Structure 1
Amino acid sequence: MTAANKPARRRSLATRLMLVASLWSVAALAVAGFILVELFRDTVERGLDSQLEVYQKAIIGAMAPSDGETINRPENLGEPRFSLPLSGWYWTIADWPEWKLVYASGSLVGDPLLVPPLPFGQRTGGGFATGPGGEELRVSQRIISFDGKSYLIAVGGKTEGLRKDLAAFTEQVVLTLSVFGIGLIAAIFVQVRFGLLPIRRMQQSLAAVRDGEAEQIDENVPRELAPLAIELNALIRSNAEIVERARTHVGNLAHALKTPLSVISNEANANGGDAFAQKVAEQAQLMRTQVDHHLERARQAAQRRVIGVATPVEPTLARLMRAMSRIHGDRGLAFSAELDPVVRFRGEQQDLEELAGNLIDNACKWARTRVDLKVTLIASAPDERALLEIIVEDDGPGLTEEQRREAVKRGRRLDESVPGTGLGLSIVADLAALYGGRFELAAAGIGGLRAKLVLPAAAG
């Protein structure tokens, strides 16, 4: 098979549907997971900001001056971590805008709390900063005034707990969405397989029709596929009607032509001594031969279009071999046959009999002592059609390469002493071509001619 004749690599509809749905599901779950993590991050940050604002308000309440002039140092905010050295929780009070430190929490142990500057014109703010111990802090700032003097109050808390909560939540989200994604992909697989099951059943029904196991496709299919099944059955019925009409026309034409030719031949033979009559008789016989050939070819073409016909090979060829052994029994030929009982020909029995019969009969005419027949199923790729191979060999004189080419031409007889019309091998070649097969002649391993016939095989 050439590269041009090789079938294109078929794409699976089920694979395409599952791939697209799976990719979309994975992308959607990834986006959903990202959104969930960001929402959780925003929630925990706002929770920490709210906690810092509570401490900030407590500091403002505690520092309110009792004498109306000097602010008080906040002592007890209900949070012992503000007193533990480098605990990660800090507060400072500084003059504004001089940034001169007034009071600081004991946890700072004399180190400054570096906070980001407030945007111009704003009196509150927040964000992230680095603490004295190098840890990341979440900071809340506010500017307040007492008796015309402004102070900047900054409260910070470490984000270590926030990061741990966020990492734990992210891990849970990834695990949960991964399990959900695997389940979703499995559900998509089942859904696609279940959804395409009617198409697979229709394919099997069509294969049964093609192999001769059923006469029409099962129309009990889902509503979306019912029109296709109905149209295919209509096509099968139309094909059968066309074949029947073609056979009727072939028969009518045969009767219409053969009768006048018989009259012409009889009249010519009645005047056998006349040179003109002999010429007429010769040409009438040639016309009869040509008519037989073309009518046979037309019949073969009609039969080739029959859908759903399959013929078991083993009983048909075994019957032919028995018939040939009786016909040529006086020559003492030895017959051997290797027939695979599971092989079936995708075509009509009479065509198989004509194809193999011509080859076996031709081998018997030329064989000296033996005729061998072998039928095998040719291995093929899953996406290619199945083929069977019929090989007939004899131990006769054989043919040269030039003679083998001439032998398959219509009406050519290489030896006039052997009876026949010269149409046998040409009919085999034509009929094999009509079935999409091929016919080859070669030298046989046992010394004579080897005829190989490759035909379409039906499913076993």
Structure 2
Amino acid sequence: MADDPAAAPAKAPLRRGVAARGSLALRLMLVSAVWSAIALAVAGLVLTELYRTDIVRGFDARLEVYQKTIAGRVAATPAGETPDPGSLGEPRFLLPLTGWYWMIRDAVSGTTVAASRSLYGELLDVPSPPPDGTPTAAFVRGPVDADLRLSVQRVTVGERRYDVVVTGNADEIRTDVAAFGRRVFVTLAVLAAGLLVASVLQVRIGLRPLERMRAALADIRAGRNTRLPSDLPSEIAPLGQELNALIETNVAVVERARGHVGNLAHALKTPLSVMLNEARAEDGPLAGKVVEQVQLMRAQVDRHLDRARVAAERRVVGAAADLGRSLEGLANVLRRAHADRAVDIVVTAPPALRARIERRDLEDVVGNLMDNACKYGRGRVRVAARGETDALAARPMVTVTVEDDGPGVPETRYAEVLGRGRRLDETVPGSGLGLAIADEIVEAYGGTMMLGRSELGGLAVAVRLPQS
């Protein structure tokens, strides 16, 4: 069909935007990823804090060992003499301002009795310890604004009372904790990556039965199967059973409708045929009028029975027609039917392209269009089928376009041609299905029919149907 703007469709298809649909798999993976990230972050903080607490406890135990050693030296020093614990086996007590200090203070006067060389003349601001001799630990600021870990204990030697103070450089604690935190971060990052991969695999494997069900439903819709498989997981097996029951009920309803349509056709056509035969056996204007009206009644009965049949068949799950096979079959039939005119019919259709329509209905619609093109054209007919994906459509569609090189139809008559109860040409014999009937069949399957100007010079009719 030509892209001429003047060739606007007589009936525009009803379109609706496809709402954005969230992915269930993505939701599950996001929830798992967010929860894993929060859990691992909390675990990392807790582990780091536990390690820090353990490091500080070990550091305090080390300071207390120095503290007890100093207390022993104080107790062994005669009264009146200055105790000198020395380096205590730690060279940093001898180096200036290393953060490793010891100090002995008179608990009564508050004067410093002795101090390590590392203090280099500086003094420490030390809180008073409990009088019961319990060691007290705290973080304090030392000389040159260094952070220190301090342990102070009151020691009683006879009538003398001393506060024994030992400090260590707190940077060692921070450095050790920071190194552990980095190792924990790397370890948890690797664990998070593994959990993410495991989550993706879990979601994909867990949702695979739903994908299998979707594929099974697609097979049913395409006519390759009639039921969902019975070996579904227990969580979705009830859903599969309900869908199978729905399909069976649908088929039963359609079969009953077909039976009613057949019974009605038999019940109406037989009396009409009797009336027509009796009227034809008589002469006179009344008999002629009866014949005329009975023929009109038969045409109306056929029309409405066809509409009822189509309405029933379109509800059959799995209705699908192979476009290439049907179009080639119609072209062969019409070439023989119009052999005297040597009509050139060219069919173009991709292989395996299928439409969501009963094969008989597709051949009725397209056969009527192709027959009209052969009768009203000058000898050239082009039939093309193509699949298309419209972002505004709810599902993929197929379009079958029939073009001829005849005189065409004026654009002002497009709506009239597709109007209900109207035929393109009542005087030309045909299949009995006018364009209005064909349009009703297409509409019953959720499709549209559009008229336009053909590139060959005549009429172009485009039939748009859901793709199977």
Shared fold, TM over 0.5: yes
In structure 2, the residue matched to 1:410 is 420
1:237 is matched with 248
Percent sequence identity over matched residues?
47
- Greater CA drift, 350-359 or 2-11: 2-11
Equivalent in 92, 109, 114 of residue 120 of structure 2: 109
Contact 2:131–2:154 under 8 Å retained in 1? no
Inter-partner Cα distance in structure 2 for 1:105 and 1:217: 87
Structure 2 residue 310 is the aligned partner of structure 1 residue 289: no
1:138 alignment counterpart: 149
Separation in structure 2 between the aligned mates of residue 42 and residue 105 of structure 1, nearest angstrom: 28
Shift of 1:118: 5.9
How far apart are 1:26 and its partner, in Å? 1.2
Residue 454 (structure 1) aligned with residue 452 (structure 2)? no
Aligned pairs for 1:66-145 (under 5 A) are 67=78, 72-75=83-86, 77-96=88-107, 98-115=109-126, 124-145=135-156
- CA, structure 1 residues 196+421, in 2 after alignment: closer, same or farther (shift >3 Å)? closer
Q: Does 1:183 align with 2:194?
A: yes
Paired residue secondary structure (1:169): helix
Distance 1:67 1:92, change over 3 A: closer
302-311 or 419-428, larger mean C-alpha shift: 419-428
Determine the structure 1 residue equivalent to 2:59: 48
CA gap 1:118/1:146 in 2 versus in 1, 3 angstroms? closer
Q: 177-186 or 369-378, which moves further after superposition?
A: 369-378
Distance in 1 (alpha carbons) for counterparts of 2:435 and 2:87: 115
Mean alpha-carbon deviation: is it higher for 54-63 or for 76-85? 76-85
8 Å contact from structure 1 (residues 92, 101) kept in 2? yes
Two-structure CA RMSD over aligned residues (Å): 2.6
User: Unmatched 5+ residue regions in structure 2?
Assistant: 1-11
- Is residue 388 of structure 1 aligned with residue 424 of structure 2? no
Tell me if 1:355 matches 2:365. Answer: yes
**Aligned-partner SS, 1:64:** helix
Answer yes or no: is 1:58 the counterpart of 2:45.
Answer: no
Whether contact under 8 Å (2:345, 2:380) holds in the other structure is: yes
SS in 2 for 1:182: helix
CA distance in 1, matches of 2:419, 2:130: 101
Q: In the TM superposition, what is the alpha-carbon distance from 1:72 to its structure 2 partner?
A: 3.5
Q: Residues 328 and 411 (structure 1 numbering): CA distance in 2 closer, same or farther, change over 3 Å?
A: farther
User: TM-score if structure 2 supplies the norm length?
Assistant: 0.90
Shift of 1:78: 3.3
- 2:406 counterpart of 1:399: no
Taking the aligned partners of 1:66 and 1:409, their CA distance within structure 2 comes to: 123
Is the Cα–Cα contact under 8 Å of residues 373 and 391 in structure 1 kept in the other structure?
Answer: yes
Structure 1 pair 121–3 and aligned structure 2 pair: CA distance change class (3 A): farther
Are 1:315 and 2:292 matched, yes or no?
Answer: no
Q: Does 1:253 align with 2:258?
A: no
Note the alpha carbon deviations across 1:184-242, whole angstroms, 9 max, x for none. 11111111111111111121112111111122211112222222222222222222222
Letter in 2 for 1:72: P
- Matches of 2:393 and 2:57 in 1, distance apart? 62
Higher relative contact order (CA 8 A, sep 6+): 2
SS of corresponding position for 1:399: coil
Going from structure 1 to structure 2, the CA distance change for 1:183 and 1:258 (only over 3 Å counts) comes to: same
Match of 1:26 in 2: 37
Q: 1:93 to 1:4 in 2, by over 3 A?
A: farther
Q: Within the alignment, does 1:208 sit opposite 2:224 as a pair?
A: no
Larger deviation, residues 70-79 vs 80-89: 70-79
> Using the alignment, how far apart are the partners of 1:257 and 1:4 within structure 2?
39
One-letter code aligned to 1:325:
R
- 74-83 vs 7-16, which moves further: 74-83
Unaligned runs of 5+ in 1: none
Q: Partner residue of 1:379?
A: 389
| TM-score, structure 1 normalization | 0.92
Are positions 1:279 and 2:261 aligned together?
no
CA distance in 1, matches of 2:15, 2:105: 86
- Decide whether the 8 Å contact of 1:116 with 1:129 is kept in 2: no
